[in-house]
Amino acid sequence: MKILGIRTPLRVFELELLFTESQLKARNKPEYVTMAQQIAEKRAAIKEIRREYEELEDVEIIALAAKSDADANRDSTLIRMGRLMDSIDPNLRQRIMHMVPSKIAKLAMDKETVAIDDILTRLKTLDENHPIRTFWEPTLAEQNEYFKNVSGQLAEIHSKWVDIRNTVINLKLDLDTHRNQIFGELVKQEGKVAALGYFRKGPTYSPKTPDSPETE
């Protein structure tokens, strides 16, 4: 019997277990039915972790889209702020922004966040009724804070990915151990040659579908 190992996708584990489970059920012996039920429980655990995996993928994509949108919004605000500053006083923008807005917008996202925090601090040096503060400071502050919040959500998602991947590794190790235990029991019952018949022969089946998560 082949040990599948942690690099084997969960879906392959599931199909291999289904093959063995079906073989055991076909014998219609009480002790074999019990082993088949144990395997069914293992397959249920696989389905649950794959469901969690796919749900987290969805949450991550939604958060990434929100982060991209938040970044685009603050980029637009920076550029429009810069134009208004130039129209009011050519020296004002240089005083508040150490770089032209378009260059700030091209910074790495984390560096842009720091740059915007610095801009917001410098805006406080203007009179509170200054048109730049009145029209743009609240918007830029809100957009930058929203960007930070979304970035924080993605950091939490990353932490959950680590947890899920560790869970998947441990599950795969457990599944291989259980398959080996089933094999050992079948060897006692029928001998090694017959026991091998309860497991797939030849190359492990690997489904080639667009939605098969390779990292599982």
Q: pLDDT tens digits, residue range 90-146?
A: 799 999 998 999 999 999 999 999 999 999 999 999 999 999 999 899 999 999 999
Q: pLDDT tens digits, residue range 58-105?
A: 999 999 999 999 999 999 999 999 999 999 887 999 999 989 999 999
Q: pLDDT tens digits, residue range 12-37?
A: 999 999 999 999 999 989 999 999 99
CA nearest to 54, candidates 208, 164, 205:
164
| pLDDT for the residue numbered 181 | 96
Q: What is the DSSP letter of 206?
A: -
Q: For residue 197, what pLDDT band results from cuts at 50, 70 and 90?
A: very high
Q: For residue 202, what pLDDT band results from cuts at 50, 70 and 90?
A: low
Q: For residue 204, what pLDDT band results from cuts at 50, 70 and 90?
A: low
| pLDDT for the residue numbered 213 | 42
Please state the pTM of the whole predicted model. Answer: 0.77
